[in-house]
Structure 1
Amino acid sequence: MRAETQAVVDSIRESMALLRRHLDWDQALKRLEELNALAEDPELWNDPDKAQGLMRERAALSGQIERGEGLQQRLDDALTLIELGEAESDEASIQEAEADLAKLKAEADKAEIESLLSGEADSNDAYLEVNAGAGGTEAQDWAEMLLRMYARWAEQHGYKIEWIEESAGEEAGLKSATIRILGHNAYGWLKSETGVHRLVRISPFDSQSRRHTSFASTWVYPVIDDSIEVALEDKDLRIDTYRASGAGGQHVNRTDSAVRITHLPTGIVVQCQNDRSQHKNKATAMGMLKARIYEHELKKREAEAQATEDAKTDIGWGHQIRSYVLHPYQMVKDLRTGVEKTNSKSVLDGDIDDYLEAALAAKLGGLEAGEAADA
């Protein structure tokens, strides 16, 4: 076998070994057996919420195991083809197998990264908030562009979107908005997107066509279910009602049914205006508040709270995670991972997978370094 081909095979095997280790392969097989047995219980659907959660877990785990087994089978097939090609001096078969190995390596690398989506809340739906920074209409227009980018990304990956809250800008754009992204691993993929985003462009709102720099922040936190207890005391809450202030249409209404809840000890504020019923909006906002507090505790346990709070409190220079430059050149650069792309339009249309994968890969690198140090 050629040296470069052996290097590819070694890389694939290393990725698969890490995939199995992160998944805890033997335990995963045992858990899948348990889930399969529970799925056959005729009384399972007496509790629909519990049943749906179990079936989601089963489908996700089954998919991971099938993926690992599929990678192994394809590796074995390619190695067999190379062995036969070398024995028969069949260069065409060898080249075909090497092409298969190149594709397999890319898939194994991605599977290794996705194996990190096994955190406590990674598989959950996600709330995503966007807030305009200082700068009036320019920043508010940027906030709307940013929200559109995430909405397009979600749609391209088969996720559903629920509109929770919108506060329209005075002339254009958004002061703030919150959406819920529904789908497996929505939070796991998006959790690294919390931070400040910087835009440089020729302003469409400047009569002199000058270049402007604008900021908007994103805040991502997981949707939690009723099985996770988050204690909230009435004395710690301030609940306000107000009239929806969005641009109109299907997402907002014109009655005083919008609800804002402030958690006084932490300063966390959530709001909901997607329903005409004040009662339903209050219930949704309470769920969001519990999710925010839960996410806050997760960050503390992961020793990331300080960096997250820094990003949250100052929407401006020194806190940005990504820069989007539309003039005088085209470039979108992630300031944490160094990933950059020159097709800004594609990125703003939702092509952000490279940034999401790089953030997970950076975490994987940290884990591997930690494992090496422990060894």
Structure 2
Amino acid sequence: MDEHLLGLRDRIEHLGRSLDADALRKKVRAIEEDMARPGFWDDRAAAQVKVRELEAVKERLAEYNRLTEALDEIEVLFELAAEEGDEGTRAEAEAALAKLDEDFERARVQFLLSGPYDGNDCFLALNAGAGGTDAQDWTEMLLRMYTRFCERANFAVRVVDETPGEEAGLKSATLEVKGRFAYGFFRGESGVHRLVRISPFDSQARRHTSFASVTVTPVVPEEDVDISEDDLKIDSFRAGGPGGQHMQKNETAVRITHLPTGIVVGCQNERSQFQNKVTALRILRARLRALMEQEQARKIEELRGELADIEWGHQIRSYVLQPYQLVKDHRTGVEVGNVESVLDGDLWPFIWAWLEAREGREKA
């Protein structure tokens, strides 16, 4: 039998074991029974979450079944070609196998990105940490890195808020990324990113270490997070650069403080104050949802004794330009020597490794 066919069958069967199809079928039955109970829609937000979960599980099962059925049909084609010595049938089987291989890789991505918000758009909040001007410059370098990644991966990206540094770079910035599975691909970027290089701002050309944090949050539906106007402090100000550069005459920029949590978000790059407020509320909703998930994860990890691994301040990756060149992810161990390529947006080696490692942790 064709080795390519056997290899693909092994991979699909491995995927089935990873999915635990029987457990997914049980989950479908359990959710459907829950939905049939009186009062299910009393809590509309919770019900919507359940409905989306059911749709996602059904979609995964349907895709897995389609892969196995297509593979069985291709196997029959190969058997017919062998029995009849028909090269035309064999060519048809090989073409179908090549297409199924591509379909399998797409399905594998979707199965890896199976979280409740993995398919959503997302926000990336970048903040300069220790390192002064170097850290602010590093924050701007990260913004460029993620922008280039989005351009190469066909995600729509824009800056919705930024605070320039005093001398160079950025104190903070917020990116909005739109595209299928944007949050799923980016969520592993949350954490502290460390840069080691000869500082361009040091007259003695000494080596400096700078830090910047990245927080990735999913764009979530309004019904998922209830925000009371009474919990908000909303300030408006003029958008523009430091020291009054390019300042707008009207106070269109918006800063929102969520009083119960102290979370502060802002937006200044929309055309009107109303649009800035709408975008800022979307960012706040995403941050609050992430906070809820963080608290839930904290409780689980406290039971496992692994609290340090879920801290948002956990250093995840180092980018070393001096005395050697290397980018190393401290969670997965992935290393890339071409630092310039990484800073130009080639993040796929780190993203795939993190997704596969996450799948392994969740199955453990």
Shorter-chain TM-score range: 0.7 to 0.9
Check the 8 A contact 2:315/2:330 in 1, yes or no: yes
Alignment counterpart, residue 119 of structure 1, candidates 115, 119, 129: 115
Query: In the aligned structure 1, how far is the partner of 2:154 from the partner of 2:24?
Result: 28
Confirm whether residue 264 of structure 1 aligns to residue 263 of structure 2.
no
Structure 1 residues 203 and 79: alpha-carbon distance in aligned structure 2, compared to 1, 3 A threshold? farther
| Offset of residue 88 of structure 1 | 10
Partner of 1:193: 189
Alignment counterpart, residue 336 of structure 2, candidates 336, 341, 344: 341
C-alpha RMSD over aligned residues? 4.2
Structure 1 residues 23 and 233: alpha-carbon distance in aligned structure 2, compared to 1, 3 A threshold? farther
Q: Per-residue displacement from partner, 1:31-86 (whole Å, max 9, x unpaired)?
A: xxxxxxxxxxxxxxxxxxxxxxxxx99x9999978965775477457756876898
Structure 2: which amino acid aligns with 1:165? D
Alignment counterpart, residue 202 of structure 1, candidates 195, 198, 208: 198
Check the 8 A contact 1:194/1:218 in 2, yes or no: yes
Query: In the aligned structure 1, how far is the partner of 2:150 from the partner of 2:242?
Result: 22
Q: Per-residue displacement from partner, 1:180-208 (whole Å, max 9, x unpaired)?
A: 11112111211121110001112222222
Check the 8 A contact 1:253/1:275 in 2, yes or no: no
| Offset of residue 106 of structure 1 | 8.9
Partner of 1:302: 297
Query: In the aligned structure 1, how far is the partner of 2:162 from the partner of 2:69?
Result: 49
Check the 8 A contact 1:326/1:344 in 2, yes or no: yes
Query: In the aligned structure 2, how far is the partner of 1:11 from the partner of 1:252?
Result: 57
SS of alignment partner, residue 157 of structure 2: strand
Q: Per-residue displacement from partner, 1:243-292 (whole Å, max 9, x unpaired)?
A: 334379xx984643222112222121111111242232223212221221
Structure 1 residues 263 and 348: alpha-carbon distance in aligned structure 2, compared to 1, 3 A threshold? same
Alignment counterpart, residue 221 of structure 1, candidates 217, 223, 233: 217
SS of alignment partner, residue 323 of structure 1: strand
Query: In the aligned structure 1, how far is the partner of 2:75 from the partner of 2:325?
Result: 43
Structure 1: which amino acid aligns with 2:167? E
| Offset of residue 145 of structure 1 | 0.8
Partner of 2:360: 365
Query: In the aligned structure 2, how far is the partner of 1:128 from the partner of 1:244?
Result: 20
SS of alignment partner, residue 312 of structure 2: helix
Query: In the aligned structure 1, how far is the partner of 2:198 from the partner of 2:99?
Result: 41
Structure 1 residues 339 and 81: alpha-carbon distance in aligned structure 2, compared to 1, 3 A threshold? farther
Partner of 1:324: 319
Structure 1: which amino acid aligns with 2:160? I
Check the 8 A contact 1:9/1:101 in 2, yes or no: no
Alignment counterpart, residue 140 of structure 1, candidates 125, 136, 140: 136
Confirm whether residue 11 of structure 1 aligns to residue 6 of structure 2.
no
Structure 1 residues 328 and 75: alpha-carbon distance in aligned structure 2, compared to 1, 3 A threshold? farther
Query: In the aligned structure 2, how far is the partner of 1:121 from the partner of 1:23?
Result: 21
Check the 8 A contact 1:153/1:350 in 2, yes or no: yes
Query: In the aligned structure 1, how far is the partner of 2:82 from the partner of 2:154?
Result: 44
Query: In the aligned structure 1, how far is the partner of 2:22 from the partner of 2:136?
Result: 41
Structure 2: which amino acid aligns with 1:215? F
Check the 8 A contact 1:142/1:199 in 2, yes or no: yes
Alignment counterpart, residue 277 of structure 2, candidates 273, 282, 305: 282
Check the 8 A contact 1:15/1:108 in 2, yes or no: no
SS of alignment partner, residue 141 of structure 2: helix
SS of alignment partner, residue 266 of structure 1: coil
Check the 8 A contact 2:128/2:136 in 1, yes or no: yes
TM-score (normalizing by structure 1) = 0.72
TM-score (normalizing by structure 2) = 0.74
Structure 1 residues 328 and 160: alpha-carbon distance in aligned structure 2, compared to 1, 3 A threshold? same
Query: In the aligned structure 2, how far is the partner of 1:207 from the partner of 1:83?
Result: 73
Query: In the aligned structure 2, how far is the partner of 1:309 from the partner of 1:6?
Result: 39
Query: In the aligned structure 2, how far is the partner of 1:359 from the partner of 1:82?
Result: 37
Structure 1 residues 233 and 135: alpha-carbon distance in aligned structure 2, compared to 1, 3 A threshold? same
Structure 1: which amino acid aligns with 2:324? Y
Identical-pair percentage: 49
Structure 1 residues 245 and 107: alpha-carbon distance in aligned structure 2, compared to 1, 3 A threshold? same
Query: In the aligned structure 2, how far is the partner of 1:176 from the partner of 1:23?
Result: 44
Structure 1: which amino acid aligns with 2:329? D
Q: Which runs of 5+ in 2 are unaligned?
A: 29-51, 302-306
Structure 2: which amino acid aligns with 1:348? L
Structure 1 residues 311 and 26: alpha-carbon distance in aligned structure 2, compared to 1, 3 A threshold? closer
Between the two proteins, the alignment pairs up a number of residues equal to 332
Structure 1: which amino acid aligns with 2:331? R
Check the 8 A contact 1:19/1:112 in 2, yes or no: no
Check the 8 A contact 2:24/2:57 in 1, yes or no: no
Structure 2: which amino acid aligns with 1:176? S
Q: Which runs of 5+ in 1 are unaligned?
A: 29-55, 313-318, 370-375
Check the 8 A contact 1:125/1:187 in 2, yes or no: yes
Structure 2: which amino acid aligns with 1:334? D
Partner of 1:37: none
